Amino acid sequence: MKKTILITGGAGFIGSAVVRQAIAAEYRVVNLDALTYAANLDNVASVSESPFYVFERADIRDQSALDRIFATYQPDMLINLASESHVDRSIEGPAEFMETNIIGTFAMLQAARAFWEDKGRFDEFRFLHVSTDEVYGALGPTGQFSETSPYNPHSPYSASKASADHLVRAWANTYDLPVLISNCSNNYGPFQYPEKLVPRTINCALAGKPIQVYGTGDNVRDWLFVEDHAAALLMILEGGKVGDSYNVGGNAEMPNIEIVRKICLLLNERLDDRAPHEKLIEFVPDRPGHDFRYAIDASKIRLELGWQPTVSLETGLALTVDWYLKNSANTKFPQVSQQLGLLQ
């Protein structure tokens, strides 16, 4: 009998990668997504005809819809990926982040708890909540975030995710709900919505528009290929210790400006008639509260579960650039057919 996974946000960037991998791993998948601006069902088109895939359009804040979906599909476990995740949007309009990331997580916890208790609190149940390294705040030139690093969020986005993490732990401590938490570094790869740095850089370069970079571009991130992240989440779901958290990183620290330059070089190789793409780089005033550096210590997931990233930054960026070039005229993917003028 196949296990059923309920995946929230399964039409989004990371969620769709998890859906595709879960179907390939022979799980039964229920994809719950509200289909807000960054979601696209074409992201899961490759598995949508599978007899083991079901889509439910619903908002994680809708308690009655959640109760119905739990009762209908009887999930063995769930991965909560539905969230608002763009820092710039959280600065301009924080309310939606509070609603989705905090109230939505609360509603998911309530629905999961009610279902789990009604089913006799069965041992196999797991609630994996997917969070971010941004809850830890910022690092200086050295050091890494571990699972025991104190929380110190600096943006409305990271504050909302930190709040959600605290709710998940509270439901574990108060109601014994079997939860896990993961905190990941910056994801990139095919299917990403163009407001984030990597796809926006590619899209602007293809359109001949300025590639805008905050400040001096020296802010450092740990870059994680999305398919590696999806594999980590499924491993945590099945093998992680209930009640624990796991940091997931790509072991690939690099300043934003170097990421942009690497993308430009890849495009120069592929579109030499438009080179050099570096001429499009334009530095703009920094955003408020811009964290200087994030870095992940992923030794716990490596030692306990045997996971480590398999795609190097160089390979992952090349795969990503090639995907966007291949799909640049494909109107099914707003990731490559729209220019939003938004910054990372």
Hey, which residues are catalytic here?
133-134, 157
CB 32, CB 60: distance < 8 Å: yes
DSSP annotation of 279 reads G
Q: For residue 214, what are its two tokens? A: 């905050």
User: Please, is 16 exposed, middle or buried when counting C-beta atoms within 10 Å of its C-beta (0-12, 13-18, 19+)?
Assistant: buried
Q: In degrees rounded to 5, what are phi and psi of residue 217?
A: 80, 10
137/150 Cα distance (integer angstroms):
9
Chain position carrying tokens 């190097």: 312
Q: DSSP letters along 38-82, please? A: T--GGGGTTTTT-TTEEEEE--TT-HHHHHHHHHHH--SEEEE--
Backbone angles phi, psi at 234, to 5 degrees: -65, -35
The angle, 0 to 180 degrees and rounded to 10, between the axes of the packed helices 104-118 and 63-73 is 40
Q: Are 225 and 309 in contact (CB under 8 A)?
A: yes
The residue among 45, 2, 8 whose CA lies nearest residue 26 is 2
Please check whether residue 189 is in contact with residue 227, taking contact to mean a CB–CB distance below 8 angstroms: yes
CB contact at 8 A, 295 and 4 = no
Sheet strand arrangement including 253-255: 186-188, 220-225, 253-255
Residues 6+ apart with CB under 8 A from 133: 145, 183, 184, 185, 222, 247, 249, 294, 296
Q: Is 131 helix (H, G, I), strand (E, B) or coil?
A: strand
